[in-house]
Structure 1
């Protein structure tokens, strides 16, 4: 009879384990889906931490550092009152990302037609991968890109709107006034980037490049 009770207890433990694992995974999945609703449908969470280190309560409160990534390998705090456990999880996400349609050589200019969307695992992509071709017209390739290779922000740059040594117009504006003057750009800059300008009197100022190549300063 004693042996039967022990065996029954062991069977009940084995039966209960998948339920608890399923519950924790479901709670973590809901937590990450709320955090990234755009990819909620294709999301899967895998708990890497051994079960012996899981939180003891049935409904832990999950928290992440403010600068955490949306996907991939993450450490999430599971809080049960004053008790805190850290869980190592892998957040898997499927969606569309940008790849090159053909070989792109360093220094060449590109258009949106040089890229296409491909479906796959987003959490395994390189850092700063691109998910659409918005704003890529006339971008300059910074290194060779192979056909089908995921495209990242570090592989491209916007064309220079202003180049070092170029004569530019500086427009300063403030509360109720506008003034302009000529100067010489001291560095390369694309539209919306900062550029330093040496004015005719030798003073160096900084401003943002507008779409027309003028340098805007707000006082």
Structure 2
């Protein structure tokens, strides 16, 4: 068998590479959707992974596809946690919709050890983790400051993802506590001792008892202090 001549060998190699390009053509709809999502997620986190499912129907001749986020997804903040997203692409007078998966990889906080109900959370009780935020509970806390100084509403086992519903502001007034109530008006200000009938953090409205027959609503303004509700 005679060896292939150089000219024939170069021609066959060129034919092979051309065939690969034909079987993997560029998809203008997918490219447009990907570019839009990349623009909207820029700066959300150190790492963002985007996967766009190709259109089930080819776009045909579409030299200038225009991608957009339909409906509620128009608010870019919807992408902050990632998840499944629908992207619309206009091509001439037609609109196609593509599905995409956005994975925002970022920090979140978990209990570093078991936390009893009623415990005031400190930095030592927290541990930072990193992962796909779209897989976390909706109220997962991404900032430690959102947990530190607050009180756990239930027991939390080590490794539990901290959520807003797990925490409450530390009460400054407790039920049956004797507190000082302030009241003021045009040209006067008075204070008197009353009994709180509810727990309350700063800004909460609680019931207070002036005497066995009289109750009022008051706003918590500090430790052991309330102001008569206006």
TM-score (normalised: structure 1): 0.70
1:93-115 C-alpha deviation (Å, 9 max, x unpaired): 11221122223334444421111
CA contact (8 A) 2:67 2:87 kept: no
Q: Specify the alignment match of 2:169 in structure 1.
A: 158
Q: 2:152 aligns with which of 109, 126, 140?
A: 140
How far apart are residue 51 of structure 1 and its match? 1.0
* Distance (whole Å) between structure 1 residues aligned to residue 58 and residue 190 of structure 2: 64
Q: Specify the alignment match of 2:198 in structure 1.
A: 187
Matches of residues 119-134 of structure 1 in structure 2 within 5 Å? 119-134=130-145
How far apart are residue 76 of structure 1 and its match? 4.3
Alpha-carbon spacing, 1:213–1:54, altered in 2? closer, same or farther (3 Å): farther
* Distance (whole Å) between structure 2 residues aligned to residue 165 and residue 204 of structure 1: 14
* Distance (whole Å) between structure 1 residues aligned to residue 174 and residue 208 of structure 2: 11
Q: Does 1:51 align with 2:58?
A: no
Q: 1:29 aligns with which of 35, 38, 49?
A: 38
- Count residues with an aligned counterpart: 204
5+ long unaligned stretches in structure 1: 1-7
Alignment RMSD, CA only? 3.8
Matches of residues 1-219 of structure 1 in structure 2 within 5 Å? 14-17=24-27, 20-33=29-42, 37-39=43-45, 41-48=46-53, 51-52=55-56, 58-65=65-72, 68=78, 70-76=80-86, 78=88, 80=90, 87-134=98-145, 136-137=148-149, 139-140=151-152, 142-146=154-158, 148-172=159-183, 178-200=189-211, 202-207=214-219, 209-216=220-227, 219=230
How far apart are residue 79 of structure 1 and its match? 6.8
For the residue of structure 2 that corresponds to 1:154, the secondary structure is: helix
CA contact (8 A) 1:72 1:92 kept: yes
1:73-96 C-alpha deviation (Å, 9 max, x unpaired): 344463749976655433211122
5+ long unaligned stretches in structure 2: 1-17
* Distance (whole Å) between structure 1 residues aligned to residue 207 and residue 57 of structure 2: 55
* Distance (whole Å) between structure 2 residues aligned to residue 60 and residue 117 of structure 1: 36
